[in-house]
Amino acid sequence: MKKLYSLFFIVFSTVAFAQTFYSENMGTTATGNPVVTSYTGWQNVAPIVYSGTASARTSLPSSGYNGVSGSVNVFIGATTGVGQYFQIEGLNTSAYQNADLQLSFGYTKSSATGDPLLIEKSTNGTTWTALTYTDNTTTSWNLVTIAGGQIPSTTNLYLRFTNTTTATTNAPNFRLDDIKLSNVSASCTLTLGAVTTACLASTINLDTYEVTIPYTGGGNATYVVTPNSGTVSGGDNPSTVAAGNIIVTGVTEGTSFSITITGGTCNLSVTGSSPECKPINTLPYAESFPYAIDSSLNDTQKWTGANSGDNVTIAAGSLNYAGFTSTGNSITFSGAGAESFTPFTATTSGAIYASFIMNVTDMANITGDPSVTYFAGLSDGSTGGYNARIFLSRVGTQYQLGFDTASTTTNYDATMRNVGDIVFVVMGYDFTSNTYKAWFNPNLGTFTDASPATLTVTPTTAPTTFGGFIIRQDSNTTTPTIIMDELRVATTTSGLLSVSQNAIAGLKVYPNPVSNGKLFIETAANAERTVAIYDLLGKNVLNTTTSNSEVNVASLNAGVYIVKITEEGNTTSRKLIIR
């Protein structure tokens, strides 16, 4: 079972200090473990040249240190005779003093013992000098920093990383990631602390956040703070205050921050990624996945990712089930990858229900018979706090669905299902009776919470809170290819099914496409209605309440949108094209 990480809406960001002038994160995709000379996914291009016998890999991604990228890394293995090596050339450090040059990189070894990785420098590619550093004493990823004085100031710096082991038995293999060269003034007295970020709002739209940089050693020079986004506001002035916090506010969500601080002998910078300023979705909650095809579900404002790996993606079209109206698109996932988590209003009493439509389209990747995994569940509001899980077990060419509260189960529906079958899943919990229930393919015309359940579970320890839904990708050999659509969450079964089913009588939306900036919406009641328009990333780009049939959409750029219309308690969505 893969580890999931907790979601916070105030996030400690990934931060790099000093003036970094060269950074290599090894890229994001490396198919087939290519040798570095044939790998093309580097972050940098000419005049930087990468060579050697090492390989680029996505296995064992980097983790646990500031500035970690967590994707492709360079594997430097042990071989008989001469170890593998990785070389970088074309690095220009001539603009900086030798005393101020700093080299850092993420580093791990497969064994805590054995010879360390040999790291060398050269200015001509012929004469090499070893650099001194503290070797790892564990097999965990670690950030290694080689301070000023060892890196030369030159127009063409070579760096070489070599596995010197001459035998393969019990010999360590090494991995590198996030190699950086920085300029850190040796005489600068201003010291920066651990940087944090905090969302200023968390809505369905793009929000803003602020960056807080603790510092000491100020008050002795005139410092200029320059952010790439946002403004310096509300904090302390390092020019006049010896210790405090520099605060940059109004940075746009999704924009990585880069802040330079110059003054006296200091030339410092901090960089980091944006926090996710995503809202808690209100109940009843409907998700029809009206987003751009092939985009990541975790990039939308309703969802966030957990763990690492490929993301759940948006698939074209909808899944349909008798008695249920589908709109928007759908999602697809397979094998190993990142989880997708969507939070909703915490529920602590009464009941909670979730439903979705699913289709297993391919099980060719699954090994073992039976082969068991869980792929969806209700959580306590965190990305890893499963309260209930939907299981899938392959049996021959068919599969069974299961339901339980634990990470393993024998609680399976007896029905054997085929690849291509459409299944409508409902799962729920009643706080009063302390009972979990799951229904597979119920008759929606007569379905209520009193309908006979397909599977029932009475937990030994009653859950206290429900606050999220999780889609899980387990492993390459257990999670089949699944299409999922029309997620609904509500506190009653009637509310669950009415989120999208309450059609608006006599609804007409025209013209479609719109080419003159005017959209007309007519209904049988022609009552006051709310019109909300979303782009394919889920951003609300227009919201109005009106009794008129005409809606001005002239402010929208050409493209595809989803228009959501609510009138007298009924809601319907339509795809809208603006030309």
CATH number at residue 30: 2.60.120.260
| pLDDT of the residue at 14 | 41
Domain assignment present for 15: no
Q: Are residues 121 and 48 both part of a single domain?
A: yes
Q: Are residues 244 and 291 both part of a single domain?
A: no
Whole-angstrom distance, CA of residue 357 vs CA of residue 324: 10
The mean per-residue pLDDT over the stretch 462-466 comes to 97
3-state secondary structure of 260: strand
Domain assignment present for 8: no
Stretch among 238-242, 303-307, 435-439 having the lowest mean pLDDT: 303-307
| pLDDT of the residue at 18 | 61
Statement: residue 83 has pLDDT above 90: no
Domain assignment present for 91: yes
Stretch among 14-18, 22-26, 254-258 having the lowest mean pLDDT: 14-18
Find the domain containing 119 and state its range.
20-183
Statement: residue 346 has pLDDT above 90: yes
| pLDDT of the residue at 15 | 45
Q: Give the number of other Cβ atoms within 10 Å of residue 498's Cβ.
A: 17
Q: Give the number of other Cβ atoms within 10 Å of residue 277's Cβ.
A: 24
Among 11-25, 138-152, 400-414, 484-498, the range of highest mean pLDDT: 400-414
| pLDDT of the residue at 168 | 57
| pLDDT of the residue at 167 | 64
pLDDT band at 169 (very low <50, low <70, confident <90, very high): low
Whole-angstrom distance, CA of residue 425 vs CA of residue 59: 34
Q: Are residues 488 and 466 both part of a single domain?
A: yes
Last residue of a domain, one of 272, 295, 325: 272
CATH for 407: 2.60.120.560
CATH for 262: 2.60.40
Q: Are residues 82 and 160 both part of a single domain?
A: yes
The mean per-residue pLDDT over the stretch 476-497 comes to 92
Domain assignment present for 11: no
Q: Is residue 420 left, alpha or beta, with left meaning phi > 0 and alpha meaning psi from -120 to 50?
A: left
Q: How does the average pLDDT of the chain come out, rounded?
A: 88
3-state secondary structure of 501: helix
Statement: residue 269 has pLDDT above 80: yes
pLDDT band at 2 (very low <50, low <70, confident <90, very high): very low
Q: Are residues 342 and 204 both part of a single domain?
A: no
The domain tally of the chain equals: 4
Q: Are residues 154 and 244 both part of a single domain?
A: no
Please give the structure tokens belonging to residue 170: 């019990």
Statement: residue 7 has pLDDT above 60: no
Domain assignment present for 6: no
| pLDDT of the residue at 499 | 54
Q: Are residues 221 and 289 both part of a single domain?
A: no
Domain assignment present for 3: no
Q: Are residues 428 and 291 both part of a single domain?
A: yes
Of 555 and 99, the one with more pLDDT: 555
**What value does the CA radius of gyration of the chain take, rounded to a whole number of Å?**
28
Among 441-445, 505-509, 558-562, the range of highest mean pLDDT: 441-445
| pLDDT of the residue at 5 | 32
* Residue entry with tokens 């022609």: 526
Q: Is residue 337 left, alpha or beta, with left meaning phi > 0 and alpha meaning psi from -120 to 50?
A: left
| pLDDT of the residue at 494 | 83
Q: Are residues 417 and 563 both part of a single domain?
A: no
| pLDDT of the residue at 1 | 31
| pLDDT of the residue at 37 | 95
Statement: residue 540 has pLDDT above 70: yes
Q: Are residues 496 and 428 both part of a single domain?
A: yes
| pLDDT of the residue at 483 | 98
pLDDT band at 70 (very low <50, low <70, confident <90, very high): confident
Domain assignment present for 487: yes
Cα–Cα nearest to 245, from 261, 263, 221, 264: 261
Q: Are residues 98 and 175 both part of a single domain?
A: yes
CATH for 565: 2.60.40.10
Of 270 and 500, the one with more pLDDT: 270
Last residue of a domain, one of 501, 520, 543: 501
Stretch among 80-84, 368-372, 413-417 having the lowest mean pLDDT: 80-84
Domain assignment present for 75: yes
- The CA-based dihedral angle spanning residues 555, 559, 560, 566, taken in that order and rounded to the nearest 10 degrees: 0
| pLDDT of the residue at 96 | 86
Among 123-127, 189-193, 298-302, the range of highest mean pLDDT: 123-127
- Reported as a single tens digit per residue, the pLDDT across 275-311 is 889 889 999 999 999 888 899 999 888 999 888 788 9
The mean per-residue pLDDT over the stretch 406-425 comes to 96
pLDDT band at 81 (very low <50, low <70, confident <90, very high): low
Cα–Cα nearest to 352, from 460, 241, 488: 488
Of 437 and 253, the one with more pLDDT: 437
Q: Which residues pair with 267 in a beta bridge?
A: 262
The mean per-residue pLDDT over the stretch 91-103 comes to 89
Last residue of a domain, one of 501, 534, 560: 501
Q: Are residues 461 and 542 both part of a single domain?
A: no
Of 199 and 65, the one with more pLDDT: 199
